[in-house]
Amino acid sequence: MSSFNLDHKTVFVLDHGPTLTESSKQNVDFDIFSKARPQGVVPLAPVSKSLWTCCMEALCEYSRVVWDIFPGEKFLRYVVSDSTSTFLNSWKHEEQSMSHLMTKLAGIGPPLKTSDCSVILGLVSAVAALCEATEIQQQTITEHPGHIIENSGRIVCITQLKNDSHRRSLEECVAEAMKQHNKLSESSGILKILSIEFVLVHVKSFGSDCEVTELRHVLPNHPSVTTEVHDVKATRHGIAIGNRMLNLLQKHYNLSVTSITGIPMKEEQHANSSANYDVLLMHERLTGTMDRAKIDVSDNELTSSMSLKWCTPKINVNELYHCTGAARISPVDVNSRPSLCLTNFLLNGRSVLLDHWQKSGDAGGGSGSSGSKNTHMISCCGSDIFLHALDVYRVPFEDPPSISDGPGGRVTDYRINDFTEIAKKAELLPIGHRLKSVGNEPINLSMKLLDRMSKQWPLVFSKTIVYNMKQAEPLLQVITKEIISDDEVVNCQRVIYHLISMEKDGTALPVSGSTTRGPNKHKREEQYKSMWNELEGLLRLHSTISTNHKQVLDCLLKCTGKESENGNEEKPQAKFRVSTKEEVFESPESPPPVKKMKNESEMAIRPSKGAQSILSMWQNHMDNQNSQFHVEFCGRLTSDSNKARLYPDIEDEVSQVQAASSQDKNDRSGMRRGGGSGGHRFGSFHRGSRQDQGKSGRSTPTSHMKQKAMKKMNKPYSPKT
């Protein structure tokens, strides 16, 4: 079952008969003089408003506030009733506006003077209108077929009653019409009405003594109809009717009336001084505050249940306030100068903090004792002005431990700037409806993007080599894209070729952290191995996105000698590459090029990342320096991690078997099989194997060609530092 509140639909029945043509007996001076009156000029006689005029002005104010506060949520309709009944609008969104109402009202003109007028016709039409579904109700019916719509509504009839029995006949008429329509609803498709609130506004001119009893009761024979009668005299230029309607509005939609006080405004006459003004606003009751003010419907001006004092307009837009409720506002007097100043100020995009202003005792306002804290904020969000209630109470997790004291809090080499790049790419904008060829949920595009960007994303620099390399950046940028162009594939391939030439040239890799103790040839080999592993893993994860992604992976596999998983072709390449390395260094024991290493890692790579602390830079520097004086235990040098394995030969046989079987997975172990050993036995095979490979490398003409080709390719990437 779907329920709609009583205030979802309201139908106004407007008596367009002779009784309302009567003058309100109240005159309005339209000819006033703001400055000194010229001599000898007599002001023009004031004009008097008819009861109809007073009512229509009041009706427009009521409607204005409803549409300001509940755009597209609450619906109003108007039936003009004389000798016939005429609808001024439908439930459609586009006919729920002031301009539509004003145009239609002008179309029907002042009330008729014929005697055959009655509101009965209008009331029957009003009940029929309540049986029609609004666009929101229609949507619910379409989306959830089988739901019973709990359909209620309010009928506000503005008329002049003759006496109480006249009232009873109108009540009876509404109840009877409802009964008939509900009967009809069983056979036809119209909505059944659950309950009606029937509000009779009895208007009379100043001095009239035609009184009816003001009451609110449930009709004895029709428990689903509640009647309320208001007796209003058009005193004070008819504003009594306007006030009564605003009071009714406040009650009908349970609105709060709030006064913004102390708004500084420059005076026209005294430009350098400013006076303080108050503006009265209506808004939905804010959640989190309890507005206990009881709503009394009277002919008096609305009174505020809460006063909010204007504070500094300076607000940091990057500060997030804890806001417990926000409500659209509508100024009670929309055209007064203070109102206009306030709304124009806010519509320009400014926000203002407000303080709860305690009058004597508890004025029924929300926030209780809050000291000097800002309790509210008023600002324009989109086309609407909202009043926000800010939380001024104790935070349930007051004074928590800092995140840096928690798990992972002491890690210093997080890739925060890199994550920021992801956050920038996945910055959401309301563009879903403008993107073509997108399903019904564009937000999923963002989910997919985040998924692609994070397929292999080490949290810290010390766990990655690839992301530390400026040289790899173009490839990393491209590979996370959903669609890669052919040109971009070529660019990626260039990067791979460049990396290969780097390895060949023996360029040190930017391995960060203190784990690079004593980098030398062996270490470097290890680093390149893990770099290739990392890169392959990354490309493999992305290779399923498209054939072009796959092509990049294929290129890498080809270059690292894994184009066919069981192939022997990789051997020459591997030998070739390792052999070229030997040309660079004289011997394995030669001191590592510490300075170069430092330059590479800090100058070429780090500035672009920028997330390294001075401490870690200093540590790197010291480590590098220290490593020069330090003769590394050769067992550790050749080990996988910093731990040296004792008696590696014991597992010799086992490891050979493992190496053979795991070569598919172990990305680059294949290249080293020339040494006749798996990854576990570097200590024993390195020296011999290298010479082996060296020879075969030189004697391989194809690899020589490749070398040349690579050099060519490398040009755009050569020394960037």
Partner 1 sequence: MPVIVAVDASLSMWRNVFEGEEKKTTRFNIAEECTNQILDHVTSKFKLESMALLSCSSSVTVLSDFTRDLSMLKNGLKALKIGDKADFSSFVNYLNHFVVKTWGRMQSCTVIVITDGGIVSVESLDALKNAQTKNSLFEFPCNLHFLCIETLQNLKLSGSYYLLHEILKINEDLGSVVPLLETKTPEMGLPGMVATSIDKFLNNTLKTFETTLSCGNLSSRISIFPSPKAQKSINSSLEAEIFTVKDKISIVGFLNISDIRNPPVLSRHLLLPITPTEVEDISTHPSFSVVLHGSLKMESKVALVKLATEWFGIIYSWADSKTKSNLVLSILPVGLNCIPWLGNFNQLAPASMWPESLSSKKPSIPSFPVQSKRFMKRSYSQPTVAWTRATGLQTDVQKILRSAKKLPEKSHVFYKDLNRLRRAALSFGFHDLLDGISALLERECTLLPGTAHPEATLQLSHAARELKSTINKGHEHTIEPLKTDF
Paired with 284 in beta bridges are: 255
Which of 242, 678 has the CB closer to partner 1?
A: 242
CB of 675 to partner 1, least distance (A): 35
CB of 359 to partner 1, least distance (A): 19
The residue from 230, 237, 285, 470 that contacts partner 1 (CB under 8 A) is 237
Interaction between residue 112 and partner 1 (CB under 8 A): no
Instruction: Give residues 137-176 in contact with partner 1 (rule: CB under 8 A).
Output: 137, 140, 144, 147
Give Cβ neighbours of residue 532 (< 8 Å, ≥ 6 apart): 556, 560, 667, 668
Cβ count within 10 A of residue 584: 13
Question: Which span (322-330, 468-476, 531-539, 646-654) binds partner 1, by CB under 8 A?
Answer: 322-330
Report which secondary-structure segment, H or E, holds 277: strand 274-284
Contact 300, 310 (CB under 8 A): no
Question: Which span (214-222, 235-243, 599-607, 664-672) binds partner 1, by CB under 8 A?
Answer: 235-243
CB of 110 to partner 1, least distance (A): 4
Q: Which 8-state DSSP code applies to residue 395?
A: -
Instruction: Give residues 324-343 in contact with partner 1 (rule: CB under 8 A).
Output: 324-326, 330-331, 333-336, 339-340, 343
Instruction: Give residues 385-404 in contact with partner 1 (rule: CB under 8 A).
Output: 385, 388-389, 391-404
Coil, strand or helix at 636: helix
Q: Where are the alpha helices (DSSP H) in 253-296?
A: none
CB of 248 to partner 1, least distance (A): 13
- Whole-angstrom Cα distance, residue 125 to residue 80? 10
b/e for 193-214, b at 16 or more Cβ within 10 A?
Answer: bbbbbbbbbbbbbbeeeeebee
Give Cβ neighbours of residue 310 (< 8 Å, ≥ 6 apart): 260, 261, 262, 263, 264, 276, 352, 354
Interaction between residue 238 and partner 1 (CB under 8 A): yes
Which of 71, 676 has the CB closer to partner 1?
A: 71
CB of 45 to partner 1, least distance (A): 8
Interaction between residue 132 and partner 1 (CB under 8 A): no
Instruction: Give residues 252-271 in contact with partner 1 (rule: CB under 8 A).
Output: none
b/e for 667-705, b at 16 or more Cβ within 10 A?
Answer: bbbbbbbbbebbbbbbbbbbeebbebbbebbeebeebee
The residue from 84, 98, 584, 591 that contacts partner 1 (CB under 8 A) is 98
Which of 450, 657 has the CB closer to partner 1?
A: 450
Interaction between residue 451 and partner 1 (CB under 8 A): yes
The residue from 106, 271, 614, 646 that contacts partner 1 (CB under 8 A) is 106
Interaction between residue 44 and partner 1 (CB under 8 A): yes
Record the tokens describing residue 578, joined without a space.
């390792």
Contact 315, 378 (CB under 8 A): no
Which of 273, 440 has the CB closer to partner 1?
A: 440
Which of 75, 576 has the CB closer to partner 1?
A: 75
Question: Which span (54-62, 174-182, 501-509, 622-630) binds partner 1, by CB under 8 A?
Answer: 54-62
Give Cβ neighbours of residue 368 (< 8 Å, ≥ 6 apart): 362
Question: Which span (302-310, 415-423, 573-581, 623-631) binds partner 1, by CB under 8 A?
Answer: 415-423
The residue from 6, 460, 476, 710 that contacts partner 1 (CB under 8 A) is 460
Which of 242, 674 has the CB closer to partner 1?
A: 242
Interaction between residue 29 and partner 1 (CB under 8 A): yes
Give Cβ neighbours of residue 374 (< 8 Å, ≥ 6 apart): 311, 353, 354, 355, 390, 392
Instruction: Give residues 653-692 in contact with partner 1 (rule: CB under 8 A).
Output: none
Interaction between residue 643 and partner 1 (CB under 8 A): no
Question: Which span (132-140, 218-226, 542-550, 627-635) binds partner 1, by CB under 8 A?
Answer: 132-140
The residue from 419, 585, 685, 717 that contacts partner 1 (CB under 8 A) is 419
Cβ count within 10 A of residue 662: 13
- Whole-angstrom Cα distance, residue 306 to residue 483? 57
Interaction between residue 110 and partner 1 (CB under 8 A): yes
Interaction between residue 608 and partner 1 (CB under 8 A): no
Which of 376, 522 has the CB closer to partner 1?
A: 376
Which of 321, 717 has the CB closer to partner 1?
A: 321
Cβ count within 10 A of residue 88: 19
The residue from 24, 85, 289, 374 that contacts partner 1 (CB under 8 A) is 289
Which of 206, 457 has the CB closer to partner 1?
A: 457
Interaction between residue 415 and partner 1 (CB under 8 A): yes
CB of 469 to partner 1, least distance (A): 20
Contact 160, 19 (CB under 8 A): yes
Q: How many residues bind partner 1 (CB under 8 A)?
A: 154
Instruction: Give residues 60-79 in contact with partner 1 (rule: CB under 8 A).
Output: 60-61, 64-65, 67-68, 71-72
Strand pairing class (255-266; 306-310) = parallel
The residue from 414, 626, 635, 718 that contacts partner 1 (CB under 8 A) is 414
The single-letter code of the amino acid at 79 is: V
**How large is the greatest C-alpha to C-alpha distance in the chain, in angstroms?**
124
- Whole-angstrom Cα distance, residue 659 to residue 573? 19
Nearest C-alpha neighbor of 309 from the set 378, 408, 404: 378
Which of 396, 719 has the CB closer to partner 1?
A: 396
- Whole-angstrom Cα distance, residue 394 to residue 624? 51
